[in-house]
């Protein structure tokens, strides 16, 4: 059985612990770039290396101390919090985001299919797409998963726990032979030192402290990650609307 891991951390480097308004990344997309694109092959979104629960906003994190351990998912069905919720529900952020992207693009009138590809690093885009396209495919949508889980943001201004996801989304045009769209998204947790489009987590998925987060239902914890996938897919679709 394939093992999925979750990384439980309490601290982070100072640059990652700070919060701020953040700056959105310039987006390479336009109607001319999308002209002629009707069919899109969506590369199955990769799972994150681990699902994380990180107190990024703690004063200890600001001091730069780092700690944590990787834990096999299958052994934690009796654990509380996100660790147990993922094990009990077998939720996959990758599958959820893949499905949301396909659904939103279809609503816009695109014809879509999901394709699989060997990927050495989930944090990086594939970079090579010619082998994934056929004469029936106008474009390839690729996503790298840089992180997913729950986190705090800043011990003073944003100390609550919230779902987080960090992904990069790119569209490769077969006719152009290059990327015509490339944008990073940070849902829930925002960092002014990382260029990304920020998406906020609703209050319904925010928790005053870690104890409250761990005491809540599996459904609510997983719903927070589902909302992350939906928000990212909707933000991408907004750029592809014709």
DSSP state at residue 158: B
| Cα–Cα distance, 37 to 235 (Å, whole number) | 18
pLDDT at 60: 53
Q: How many residues does the chain have?
A: 242
Q: Which residues of the chain fall below pLDDT 50?
A: 1-3, 6, 8-26, 61-72
Q: According to the model, what pLDDT value does residue 139 have?
A: 94
Per DSSP, the three-state class of 238 is helix
pLDDT given for residue 17 in this prediction: 37
Sequence-separated contacts (24+) of 19-23 with Cβ below 8 Å: 19/57, 19/153, 19/154, 19/157, 19/158, 19/190, 19/191, 19/192, 20/190, 20/191, 20/192, 21/190, 21/192, 22/186, 22/190, 22/191, 22/192, 22/194, 22/196, 22/198, 23/192, 23/195
Give the whole-angstrom CA distance, residue 145 versus residue 143: 6
Give me the pLDDT at residue 91, please.
95
What per-residue confidence (pLDDT) applies to 63? 32
Domain ranges for the chain, please list them. 5-240
pTM of the model: 0.83
pLDDT digit string, tens, across residues 182-236: 999 999 999 888 999 999 999 999 999 999 999 999 999 999 999 999 999 999 9
């Amino acid at each position: 059985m394939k093992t999925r891991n979750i990384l439980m951390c309490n601290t982070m480097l100072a640059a990652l612990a700070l919060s701020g308004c953040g700056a959105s990344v310039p987006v390479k997309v336009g109607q001319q770039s999308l002209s002629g694109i009707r069919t899109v092959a969506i590369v199955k979104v990769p799972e994150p290396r681990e699902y994380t629960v990180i107190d990024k906003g703690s004063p200890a994190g600001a001091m730069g101390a780092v700690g944590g351990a990787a834990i096999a998912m299958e052994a934690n069905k009796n654990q509380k919090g996100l660790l147990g919720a993922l094990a009990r529900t077998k939720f996959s952020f990758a599958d959820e985001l893949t499905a949301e992207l396909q659904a939103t693009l279809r609503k816009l009138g695109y014809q879509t299919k999901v394709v699989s590809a060997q990927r050495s690093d989930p944090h990086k885009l594939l970079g090579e797409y010619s082998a994934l396209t056929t004469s029936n495919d106008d474009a390839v949508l690729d996503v790298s998963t840089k992180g997913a889980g729950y986190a705090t943001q800043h011990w003073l201004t944003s100390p609550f726990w919230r779902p987080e996801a960090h992904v990069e989304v790119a569209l490769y045009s077969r006719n152009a032979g290059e990327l015509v769209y490339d944008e990073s998204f940070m849902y829930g947790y925002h960092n002014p030192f990382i260029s990304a489009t920020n998406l906020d987590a609703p209050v319904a998925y925010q928790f005053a402290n870690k104890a409250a987060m761990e005491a809540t239902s599996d459904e609510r914890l997983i719903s927070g990650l589902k909302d992350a996938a939906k928000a990212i897919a909707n933000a991408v679709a907004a750029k592809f609307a014709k």
